[in-house]
Amino acid sequence: MSDYKGRISVFLRLIFCLLLHVQVFQASAQQPSGVDAIFPQGTVTYGNIPYAGDTLRSHLLDIYIPAKPKTQYPLVVWVHGGAWMFNDKHSDMGYMKNTIRGLIDSGYAIASIDYRYSTTAVFPAQVQDCNRALQFLYEHADQYKFDRSRMALIGFSAGGHLASLIALSQNNNVREFYAGGTKPQFKIKCMLDFYGPSDFIMISGFPDTSINNTSNPVAILLGAMPIDRPDLAKKASPVNYVDKNDPPFLIVQGEKDESVPNTQSKVLSSWLTLAGVKNELIIVPNAPHYGVMFDEPWIRERLFRFLGNNLK
């Protein structure tokens, strides 16, 4: 009898522990993470989706779907910054909260992607990763209700560079940019470039010592100083892929950018204009390299007008 009571007691304790565990799990699941709190209530989130068929943490993406149901959503793909060696797919969202909310509220789905750091794999690994993520999103469009014909890219700093390079090189068969050498099927309809470098040969002449040394982010990305390997610098520079068939660009950069000279945005805009590609250039007065100044209402107004004209 005592043995029976003992077993009942153990069983009840196990049930209690299980219920406690479930309650803790449910409570934690209801608490949004820092980035989830940015999104409007009801946003459907799919997190940490592997896009490359492996287990690398750098090969994950997140998807955010508006709460309002639609047959298909236009898709904006978010490419984070961080000198090609820092941050993750949640980066840049913290100071662009109103833009994020505006995208979801306006009926755009968002996908945010990770890619390998330059300290792990040199260029063009990062472009290969982004192309693989975009191809994954294209192939799974029906599952997540994306409109394959309405895909845009938005990139920040290093992410602006990568996104611009992908958008501009899609008319070129640069086999090194594609894992396995096979050109993907997706088509980028428009591009939003926030302070991404565009010409590594030009930037190598910048007197800032953060550029002109072997431990600077561009040299680490390329595996060499741009001035020593102009072939690599040219291949990695978005301006070298501009042609008349490129998608429209919205380019935004701070007047007082301390990391990327704003001439990088100006020269990209000039090349696009010469090729007959629609583009808008915004130089934000007194703005630094990144921050809440890029989430101001007047910039958001132009951003959403640009998306509305080119994606909806």
15 shares its domain with 120: no
Q: Burial-class residue 47 by CB neighbours within 10 Å (0-12, 13-18, 19+).
A: middle
State how far the Cα of 144 lies from the Cα of 153, in Å rounded to an integer.
17
Residue 94, classed as helix, strand or coil, is: coil
23 and 163 assigned to the same domain: no
Same domain for 16 and 48: no
In tens digits, what is the pLDDT along the chain, a chain of 312 residues?
A: 445 444 444 333 433 333 333 332 222 223 345 688 999 999 999 999 999 999 999 999 999 999 999 999 999 999 999 999 999 999 999 999 999 999 999 999 999 999 999 999 999 999 999 999 999 999 999 999 999 999 999 999 999 999 999 999 999 989 999 998 899 999 999 999 999 999 999 988 766 645 567 789 999 999 999 989 999 999 999 999 999 999 999 999 999 999 999 999 999 999 999 999 999 999 999 999 999 999 999 999 999 999 999 997
Q: Quick one: 107 and 148 in the same domain?
A: yes
Examine the domain organization and report whether 179 and 199 are in the same domain.
Answer: yes
If asked whether residues 10 and 69 sit together in one domain, one would say: no
Looking up tokens 């789905």, which residue turns up?
109
Residue 190 DSSP SS3:
strand
Question: Does 135 lie in the same domain as 197?
Answer: yes
Closest CA to 104 of 57, 142, 137, 70: 70
Q: What total of structural domains would you count in the chain? A: 2
Residues 8 and 86 placed together within one structural domain of the fold: no
Do 170 and 294 sit in the same domain of this protein?
Answer: yes
230 preceded by a cis bond (ω within 30 of 0): no
Residues 163 and 16 in one domain: no
3-class DSSP state of 132: helix
- Do residues 2 and 89 share a domain? no
Provide the residue range defining the domain that includes 265: 34-310
What Å distances lie between residue 204 and 128, 131, 162, 163, CA to CA? 24, 27, 18, 21
- Which ranges of 51-192 would DSSP assign to H, the alpha helix? 97-105, 125-139, 141-144, 158-169
Query: Looking at the structure, do residues 287 and 230 belong to the same domain, yes or no?
Result: yes
Where residue 204 sits, what CATH number does that domain have? 3.40.50.1820
